[in-house]
Amino acid sequence: MGITKRRLLAMICFLLGGSIVAAGAPYKYSRVGNEADVSRTTKPGFALMGGGTDLDEAFEWMCDRANGGDFLVIRATGSDDYNAYIQKLCKLNSVATLVIPDKEAAQDPRVAAIIQRAEALFISGGDQSNYIKYWQGTPVQTELNSLIKKGVPLGGTSAGLAVIGQFIFSAMNDSAFSKETLANPYNERVTIASNFLAVPHLEKVITDTHFATRDRQGRLVGFMARVLQDGMSREVRGMGVDEKSALLVEPDGAAKAVGTGKGVYFYHPSAKPETCRPGKRLTFEGIFVEKISTGQSFSLSEWKGQGTSYTLNLKNGVLTTTAPGGSVY
């Protein structure tokens, strides 16, 4: 290599402490393991994590499907802490974190090229409004959907899970809360986006995270009511994943719950809400619910499983349930 080429490469990128970043790039890229990519045959699947403490079992499941390839974590803010965690947990060619902090970074062709080469893709927690504002309508969205079609395993936790369903609580005005949402499903904090990712069996689904731990059932029901009332879809289903819980989904929609949290909750309204208007308390009755706990299975294609089933009713913002003991969780 001549001196001119060396200088050119030094200007283009630098290597420091495992981080490889193009000079002047609007993104950050940090990698551990082998510097050269490999090509592996992957097995599709989706790891839907509810947030809180990361679950080794869920990441190992993704790693197995990556088949020793290159594991990529994407986020809009934050550090590369996942690199060391996943590298220690799994046998992979490499683990990398790509921070895509704005629209400019999401338009960078080098970002698209990095995503294209992943054998596993994980969307970290954070603020899902950033993912929608910065990534939707860019090559990042295009390449993520290409990976899904290709059969690359995809996972997400907290905000990363929030953007995986067809419908998305976009959090454009900060977080929403159950009490306020049931009192007024059109309060300014309830913002719904759609069609960021095309994940099989999550069509017409809106997800929520940290579910029982942060008492988010009321707001998820409010989100579903808005989807129906605003004509986004004639049908909607909800999925709430608790902290320290995950749902591992096979390509055919067969899924199982893992983790130490309270599990996963599935919602299917039987009709549109009776009252869903600005400034009015929500009335939304006849919502079928099934909860599964660790080790139990659920079919997303049939929307039924091995869990406890009951009906949820909301009348003037007050929730009642037929669940054993009247427990909402």
Distance CA 133, CA 111 (A): 17
The values of phi and psi at residue 92, to 5°, are -135, 160
Cβ partners under 8 Å of residue 190, min gap 6: 169, 176, 181, 219, 222, 223, 226
- DSSP helix/strand/coil, 130: helix
pLDDT tens for the chain, 329 residues long, are 333 333 333 333 333 335 556 557 899 999 999 999 999 999 999 999 999 999 999 999 999 999 999 999 999 999 999 999 999 999 999 999 999 999 999 999 999 999 999 999 999 999 999 999 999 999 999 999 999 999 999 999 999 999 999 999 999 999 999 999 999 999 999 999 999 999 999 999 999 999 999 999 999 999 999 999 999 999 999 999 999 999 999 999 999 999 999 999 999 999 999 999 999 999 999 999 999 999 999 999 999 999 999 999 999 999 999 998 888 78
The values of phi and psi at residue 7, to 5°, are -65, -40
The pair of structure tokens assigned to 158 is 């907290």
- Considering the entire predicted model, what is its pTM? 0.92
- Tally of residues, the chain: 329
Helix (H) or strand (E) holding 110: helix 109-116
Instruction: Judge whether 50 and 210 are in contact, CB under 8 Å.
Output: yes
